[in-house]
Amino acid sequence: MEQIKTSFDFEKPLTELVQQIEKVKQVADKTKVDMSATLTELEEKLVQTQQSLYSNLTGWQKVQMSRHAERPQTLDYISLICDDFIEMHGDRTVKDDKAIIGGFATIDGQTVMIIGHQKGKNTKERQYRNFGMANPEGYRKALRLMRLAEKFNKPVISFIDTMGAYPGLEAEERGQGEAIARNLLEMSVLKVPIICFVVGEGASGGALGIGIGDKVYMLEHTWYSVISPESCSSILWRSWDYKERAAECLKLTSDDMYSNKLIDGIIKEPLGGAHQNPELMAETVKEQILKDLKELKKEKTEKMIATRIEKFCAMGVVNE
């Protein structure tokens, strides 16, 4: 129980219970008094509090969870899911964008192309990865790898976790909008199965640039939206102070996205979030990948592409 990682204000009730459990254990050790009944009661209360807390998170709280420093990222999933991984570099035009990684991997004997955002775990790595915000060359690298997967008839798996595409002047000069739009077009007609997972933040075109798939899933405590709550708040209210309200208005949680038929499913996270048990989280994702690959490989290519296009074209359509 003492291994529970708490980081946010809304998790304080859990921290207090963990501290109580630890104190009872210390008293039991010192006095040699049987405190097992008290410990059992506190541990049951802790589990109940966890279940109640994490099943009723607000939109802003889920945004916070998605940004947890220890939350598994693309490289973590690759190391936990794949038997091997050969990273491939460069877009063959400008350079190798470190914010997006990709390459061939093997999952239970099946070769796949894995592409995903990588934010980094510490300050140095985050600077190296540009905080997971890709430049145009990152999306062009992703497209090059997807075409390579199509050439060898291998499915594509994408992991989405970005605050958005890099908004710098040089990125716009090199065609950021065109690069993302090109990916949307090419992914919609790619002749191999595509499975996408939002594993952290899914912001704007930066997420959508590798987010067109036959199956699109969100992990339970993630978000997917055209804009971040902070940016939305600054535009509408000229201040970040209303970010919690903006998060609710944007309907960006996995539950909201699924109810609006914008994703195909929600991947349940371990109690307390993916960072509490990355191994279990990776195993759950792996099971979903293998299940979908088995189904998608049975479909004819033309039908698969038509279904993919139809799914995204139906989004936002209102039937009166």
Helix (H, G, I), strand (E, B) or coil at 56: coil
Positions of the chain with pLDDT lower than 50, given as ranges = 1-2
Using CA atoms, how far apart are residues 99 and 163, in angstroms rounded to an integer?
11
Q: Which CATH superfamily is domain 63-314 in?
A: 2-enoyl-CoA Hydratase; Chain A, domain 1 (3.90.226.10)
Q: 70-98: string of b/e by CB count within 10 Å (b at 16+)? A: ebbbbbbbbebbbeebeeeeebeeeeebb
Which phi-psi region, left, alpha or beta, contains residue 111 (left: φ > 0; alpha: ψ -120 to 50)? beta
Q: What is the pLDDT of residue 1?
A: 41
Using CA atoms, how far apart are residues 119 and 227, in angstroms rounded to an integer?
18
145: tokens are 């790898």
Q: For the segment 67-111, what is each residue's pLDDT rounded down to a tens digit?
A: 999 999 999 999 999 999 999 999 999 999 999 999 999 999 999
Task: Considering only the C-alpha atoms of the chain, give the largest distance between any 2 of them, rounded to a whole number of Å.
Answer: 73
Helix (H, G, I), strand (E, B) or coil at 223: strand
Using CA atoms, how far apart are residues 74 and 90, in angstroms rounded to an integer?
18
Using CA atoms, how far apart are residues 117 and 159, in angstroms rounded to an integer?
6
Q: What is the pLDDT of residue 275?
A: 93
Domain segments of the chain as ranges:
9-56, 63-314
Nearest Cα residue to 292 out of 277, 304, 278: 304
Q: Residue 149 burial by CB count (10 A; 0-12/13-18/19+): exposed, middle or buried? A: buried
Stated pTM of the model: 0.92
14: tokens are 């859990």
60: tokens are 């802003």
Helix (H, G, I), strand (E, B) or coil at 98: coil
The bridge status of strand 110-117 relative to strand 156-162 is parallel
Q: What is the pLDDT of residue 112?
A: 98
Using CA atoms, how far apart are residues 199 and 273, in angstroms rounded to an integer?
11
Phi then psi dihedrals of residue 64, to 5 deg: -60, -45
Structural contact between residues 162 and 133, judged by C-beta atoms closer than 8 angstroms: yes
Using CA atoms, how far apart are residues 220 and 141, in angstroms rounded to an integer?
29
